[in-house]
Structures are given as C-alpha cells and as structure tokens.
C-alpha cells in the first residue's frame, strides 16, 4: 500500500509540474519536473519503496513509451527516409557507443571495464525528440534537421537499449565473445522486429474484426491497445528477443494500418490517441520526478570531490558525443538535403538532447558491487542525470541564439475574430430552418461556446455588461408588469431565474444577486398597483401559477406555464439584444459574446424544462454535424477568396474538428 501511495504522490507531482510549466514556460519541462521531485524529497517518504527492478522498469515505463513512439510515426515518411534513419539510428548509435565506450576504458582503465564502459555509452547515446521539441517551441528549426532528429530518437532508442542489454548481460556474467556478441545482437535485433510485427498485425486484425462486427466496443479495443506493449514486450523477452524492438515494430504496424482502423471508428481512434498522450506525458514526467526525488539522496551519499569528477566526466562525454554527431553530418554520412551544411551540422550536434530513455535505462542498471569507485549504481545514475542536464542547458541557451524566433502569419486576435465570424455563420445557417427549434437552441448553445471559451476576456468588463443587461431586462419586466402583461407570480419566478444567472456567470455573484434584490424591492410597489387596477386578471393569473398549480402533473398546465415564461423571455430579449448591439465595440466584442452566451444558456434551460425528454438525439447530431460542416465550408470559402491565410485556415479547421468531437460526444452522453 505504501508503494501505491508514493506512486500516486509522484503522479500528482508530475501534474503539478506540468501546470507550472504551462503557466511559466521559462525552463524546459524536464527541469520543472526534476525540481518538483527535489521538493517532494523533503517530505518524509521512503524512496526505497519506489525503486523498481530493472526488468519491471523496462516493462512498465520504457515499453509503453517506445510503443507510443512507434504508432505515432508516419510509415510513408519512414519508408522515404530509410537510409537517413539507418545512418542516424543504427550507424551513428553503434559508432558512438564503440568510440565513447572505448574512450572511457582507455582514459579511466582503473574505473571502467569494457562491459561497464559500453553500458554507460549505451545509456547516454539515445536522444529525446520530446525534449528537443520543448526547447524549439519558440524558434524555427529547419524542417530537414527536425525530421532527422525525430526519426533518430525513435530508432536509436532501440539500438541503445539492445546494446545496453548486451553490455548488462556481459557485465553480470563476466564473459564476452565478439563473435557470439554479434550473433546475439543480430538475433535479438531482427528477431524482435519480426516478432513485434507479427504480434502487431494479429492484434490489429483482432481489433478491426471486433469493430466491424460490433457497434460500441470502445471499452474493449482501447484496453487491448493499451495492453499491447506490455504483452508484446513480455512475450518477446520470454523467447530471448529484444522486447523493446518488438514493441517499436508493433507500434509501427499500428501506424501502417491506422487508416484501416480510422475507417472503422474515428471515435475510438480519437479516444485512444488522447489516452496515449496522457499516458506518455505521465510516464515521461514520472521518470524525471523520480530522479528529482532520488537526487538528494544520491548526492548526499557521494563525496564532493567525486561529484566534481562526475561533472567533468559528464561534460567530456557530452562534448565527445556532440563532436561525433557534428562530424557525422559534415562528412555527409547522413543526407539531410541541407542547403547550409555547417549550420545544420551544428544544429544536429546540439539537437542530441538526452531525456527519458537515458534516465530510464540508468534506473534499470542492476545493483553493482563496490569494486570500483565509479562503478556504483547511484554514481552512474548521477552521471547520466548530469549529461541530461548539460544537454538541456546547452540547447536552452544555444537554440534561441542560432535560430530565428517562430512567427505566425496571423495574430491571436485575428484567429479569435475569424472564429467568431465562422461560428456566427453556422448559427445563421442553422437558424434559417423552421423545424426542430428545440434541438436548434441546444446546438446553437454548444456552438456559441466556441466563441467564448477560446479567448481571454476582461472579467470586469464582462460583469459590468452583464449587470447592465440584467438591468435592461428587469426594466422591461417591470414595464410589462405595469402594463398588465405579466403577473406578480410570473415576475417572481422570472427574476429568480435572473438571480441564478447572476450567481452562475459573475465573479462577483453575491453582489450581483444583491443587486437583483434591489431591483425587486424597487418595483415591489408595482404589484400593489397592478392588484389595484387589474384585480380580476391578477387573481386569475395568481391562481394559475400558484404552487398547487405548478405541482399539477397535467401536461397542459406545464405547457401553459413554460409557454408564458418563454414568451416573457422573448419580450425581454428584444430589448437586451438592442442594448448589446448598441454597446458593442471592437474592444468589448468578446465580452459581449460572453453575455449573449449567458442568455443562450437560459434559453436552453427553458427549452429543456419545456420539453424534457422530447429532444431527438438523432436530430441533435444531424444539426450539429451540419453546423460544423458549415463552419468548415465558411473557412474554405474565406481561404479560397484570399481573406485568410492557409495557416490560419488550418488552425481554424483543427479547432473546429476538436469542438465537433466534444459537441457530438456531449449529445451521446
């Protein structure tokens, strides 16, 4: 139970670090996660309870991460760049391990055996595309360099892991044969690829068959997809193949057959993609938070002089690997289709940033003997961590100086304004139909949320406009009552509804609610006036809307009651809309849209009470799909006419597609 508690605490820390990075993205996410782990280590928790066995760590952390990388890769681009990939992911990885490992053995023979040196080299060789992306978010990385780094990070992870496994086996057994090692490498390498491909194909066939023969089986096929890397890795290791290469191959097979899966159920695919994004984010963060938790203990057990030696050694290893990468590009051992070889070679060298896989392999080191000063597990973990920190620091400092800042050909305000026009176009098209008004109101409410939830608003301006709109509404209601159009009971029910809106939609809800009571007291005398001048009408309507009448289950009474409320709402909304049209300016367009949405929510509430249980879900879905199609059509029309750029059109279409998924899902729920 203690382990479960600590793991849960680590995951909470991951989420907290992600939130801080989202709000203050000054440092790389990995740094925030490490710092969060260090802060967590202050708490009285037993870190030894979360030290997993190397095999378990590989199964639970590395296998799912590698599988997700595999299923996200584009097979078409993969096949077009196979030579480039083999050069970087296999050739460069093997050469780096051999050169760095041999250099370690020759430079520090008293501290490193060949097996230990090659194991450490295999640990620090893999690169992390996620880490590179986090450092290049705000700069323009050349496309050819970026693609090279992405493909390298996928397959050099696998190469490094295979070499790591061989070195670990040699280290624990104490025996090494070059011929046997080469044969073993080929067996586990290609055997893992073949086995993983077969397993991936069979699981894809199973999922496709299930989705074609059954309507709603997301609860079955999604767990199958999530469990795939664990099953494939375990079975491959049982027959002495590379479990990591097997899960990568299985992931790539999923990528190849993705179109076939997408045709069967886009809903399942979207849910699967979202789930895997969450899993990958949590696992990546878990590793770095775990490092932060363990770092103080590791440092406290290491002498200061030893830490300095490890830091110098880590710096030397980083420089050696960067030099190898630069020369690899300059001697054209990898074809990046470069127009500026010197620049691209430098970017390729600096892009060799290490991350999750390096750290995960370090945690997977078996507990070693104390026979050598540097050959302890904690010191090797610390050494790998320092290499990661150096690569992150250098990248953070270098990329903004070497690359131009990333710019968009549209501003956020332009995106938001164009989105409002797009949604309004769809609403206008939808409102032209005289049929299915109840369903229309609900769909329009969903569409309106697109306009109000994608930009930041000034809450003070919004609250002021909302309060003024309610004042107009109450003034209209008072005039209607004074003219005998509405009764005291109707006003009482209606202004309670206004009060609820004040509480729900204002950040100063209590003050807004008190303001409503001020309006009620101000116009209380009108009830006496109405009772005096229209006693018969007043008494009849009071009887109709008495509590006893409202409790009557007769559909006719309910129909008449809600018809009256909707009629009052329509009359007050005429004045409210005129007021909003008058006060709307380019500076408050978003706040006015938010106020309009508040009234649309009220319309939706009235419609739901008026026809509870009578809305047709199929009609809702049909109207929603048509509305989103209208939005896409409007964007296409604007792009074709040259009114908006292609980049802005793509951003709008992506946003609309995401909103469509959420909207349709809400109707199905």
- Give per-residue pLDDT as tens, 388-431: 999 999 998 999 999 988 776 677 778 888 888 888 888 888 87
Q: Is 408-457+614-669 in the same CATH topology as 2-178+279-402? A: no
Least confident range from 442-446, 447-451, 532-536, 600-604: namely: 532-536
Tokens linked to 342: 């010197």
**Burial 427-459, CB ≥16 within 10 A → b, else e:** bebbeeeeebebbbbbbbbbbbbbbbebbebee
Q: What percent of the chain has pLDDT over 90?
A: 20
CA 194 to chain centre: 32
Instruction: Report the chain's C-alpha Rg in angstroms.
Output: 32
HSE-up (13 A, CA, CB side) for residue 338: 22
Could you give the CA distance from residue 28 to residue 132 in angstroms, rounded to a whole number? 10
3-state secondary structure of 337: coil
Could you give the CA distance from residue 542 to residue 106 in angstroms, rounded to a whole number? 99
Does residue 20 contact residue 1 with C-beta atoms inside 8 Å?
Answer: no
* pLDDT tens digits along 459-508: 778 778 888 888 888 888 888 888 888 887 777 777 776 665 555 444 44
Model pLDDT, residue 614: 58
* pLDDT tens digits along 40-79: 888 776 655 565 667 777 888 889 988 988 888 777 777 8
- Flag whether pLDDT at 352 surpasses 80: yes
**Burial 331-354, CB ≥16 within 10 A → b, else e:** eeebebebeeeeebbbbbbbbbbb
DSSP code at position 644 = S
If one compares 627 and 615, the residue with the highest pLDDT of the two is: 627
If one compares 524 and 559, the residue with the highest pLDDT of the two is: 559
Put simply, whether the predicted model's pTM sits higher than 0.75 gets the answer no
Model pLDDT, residue 84: 87
**Positive or negative torsion for Cα 600, 601, 605, 607:** positive
Backbone φ and ψ of 181, nearest 5°? -65, -40
Q: Which CATH architecture has domain 408-457+614-669?
A: Orthogonal Bundle (1.10)
Model pLDDT, residue 393: 92
If one compares 91 and 257, the residue with the highest pLDDT of the two is: 91
- Flag whether pLDDT at 264 surpasses 60: no
Q: How confident is the model at residue 175 (pLDDT cuts 50, 70, 90)?
A: low
What's the whole-number mean pLDDT along residues 258-278?
67
CA 104 to chain centre: 41
3-state secondary structure of 148: helix
Closest-CA residue to 99 (of 79, 124, 77): 124
Backbone φ and ψ of 250, nearest 5°? -60, -40
Tokens linked to 285: 């963060």
Could you give the CA distance from residue 317 to residue 80 in angstroms, rounded to a whole number? 33
Distance (Å) of CA 279 to CA 11, 63, 656: 11, 12, 25
Least confident range from 139-148, 239-248, 366-375: namely: 366-375
Domain boundaries, the chain: 2-178+279-402, 408-457+614-669, 459-587
Tokens linked to 607: 């419609």
Helix pair angle (459-482, 589-610), 10° resolution: 50
Could you give the CA distance from residue 399 to residue 350 in angstroms, rounded to a whole number? 8
If one compares 626 and 448, the residue with the highest pLDDT of the two is: 626
Backbone φ and ψ of 405, nearest 5°? -65, 145
CATH 1.10.3470 fits 2-178+279-402, yes or no: no
Could you give the CA distance from residue 519 to residue 476 in angstroms, rounded to a whole number? 12
Beta bridge partner(s), residue 405: 139
């Amino acid at each position: 139970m203690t382990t479960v508690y600590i793991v849960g605490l680590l995951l909470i820390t991951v989420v907290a670090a992600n939130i801080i990075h989202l709000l203050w993205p000054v440092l790389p996410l990995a740094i925030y996660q490490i710092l969060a782990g260090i802060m967590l280590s202050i708490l009285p928790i037993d870190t030894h309870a979360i030290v997993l066995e190397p095999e378990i760590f590989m199964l639970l952390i590395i296998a799912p991460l590698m599988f997700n990388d595999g299923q996200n890769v584009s097979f078409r681009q993969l096949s077009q760049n196979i030579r480039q990939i083999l050069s970087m992911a296999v050739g460069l990885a093997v050469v780096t391990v051999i050169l760095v490992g041999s250099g370690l053995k020759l430079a520090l023979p008293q501290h490193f055996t060949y097996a230990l040196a090659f194991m450490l080299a295999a640990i620090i060789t893999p690169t992390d595309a996620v880490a590179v992306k986090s450092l290049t978010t705000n700069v323009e990385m050349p496309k050819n360099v970026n693609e090279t780094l992405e493909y390298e990070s996928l397959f050099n992870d696998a190469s490094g892991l295979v070499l790591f496994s061989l070195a670990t086996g040699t280290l624990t057994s104490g025996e090494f044969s070059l011929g046997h090692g080469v044969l073993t490498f080929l067996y586990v390498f290609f055997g893992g690829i073949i086995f993983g491909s077969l397993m991936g194909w069979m699981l894809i066939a199973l999922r496709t068959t299930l989705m074609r023969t059954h309507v709603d089986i997301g609860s079955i096929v999604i767990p199958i997809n999530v469990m795939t890397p664990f099953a494939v890795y375990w079975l491959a290791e049982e027959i002495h193949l590379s479990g990591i290469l097997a899960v990568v191959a299985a992931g790539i097979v999923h990528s190849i057959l993705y179109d076939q899966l997408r045709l069967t159920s886009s809903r399942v695919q979207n849910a699967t993609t979202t789930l895997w994004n969450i899993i990958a984010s949590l696992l990546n963060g878990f590793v770095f938070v775990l490092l932060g938790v363990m770092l103080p203990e590791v440092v406290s057990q290491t002498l200061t002089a030893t830490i300095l030696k490890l830091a110098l050694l880590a710096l030397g290893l980083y420089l050696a690997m960067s030099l190898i990468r630069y020369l690899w590009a300059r001697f054209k051992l990898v074809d990046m289709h470069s127009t500026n070889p010197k620049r691209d070679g430098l970017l390729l060298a600096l892009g060799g940033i290490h991350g999750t896989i390096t750290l995960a392999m370090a945690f997977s080191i078996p507990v070693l003997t104390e026979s050598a000063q540097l050959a302890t597990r904690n010191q090797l973990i610390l050494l790998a961590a320092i290499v990661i920190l150096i690569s992150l620091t250098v990248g953070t400092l270098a990329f903004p100086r070497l690359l131009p800042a990333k710019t968009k050909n549209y501003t956020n305000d332009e995106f938001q304004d164009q989105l409002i026009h797009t949604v309004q176009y769809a609403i206008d098209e939808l409102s032209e139909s005289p049929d299915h008004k109840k369903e229309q109101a609900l769909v329009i409410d969903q569409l309106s949320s697109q306009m109000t939830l994608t930009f930041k608003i000034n809450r003070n301006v919004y609250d002021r406009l909302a309060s003024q709109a309610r004042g107009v509404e109450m003034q209209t209601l008072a005039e209607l009552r004074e003219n005998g159009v509405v009764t005291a009971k109707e006003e009482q029910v209606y202004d309670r509804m206004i009060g609820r809106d004040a509480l729900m939609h204002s950040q100063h809800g209590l003050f807004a609610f008190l303001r409503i009571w001020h309006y009620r007291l101000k116009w209380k005398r009108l009830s006496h006036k109405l009772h005096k001048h229209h006693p018969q009408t007043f008494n009849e309507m009071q009887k109709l809307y008495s509590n006893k009448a409202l409790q009557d289950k007769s559909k006719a009474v309910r129909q008449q009651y809600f018809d009256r409320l909707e009629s009052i709402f329509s009359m007050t909304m005429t004045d409210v809309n005129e007021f909003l049209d008058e006060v709307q300016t380019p500076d408050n367009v978003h706040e006015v849209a938010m106020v309009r949405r508040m009234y649309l929510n009220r319309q939706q509430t009235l419609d739901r009470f008026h026809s509870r249980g009578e809305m047709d879900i199929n009609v809702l879905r049909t109207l929603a799909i048509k509305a989103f199609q209208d939005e896409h059509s409007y964007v296409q029309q604007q792009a074709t006419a040259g009114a908006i750029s292609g980049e802005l059109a793509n951003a709008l279409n992506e946003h609309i597609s995401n909103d469509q998924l959420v909207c349709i899902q809400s109707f199905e729920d």
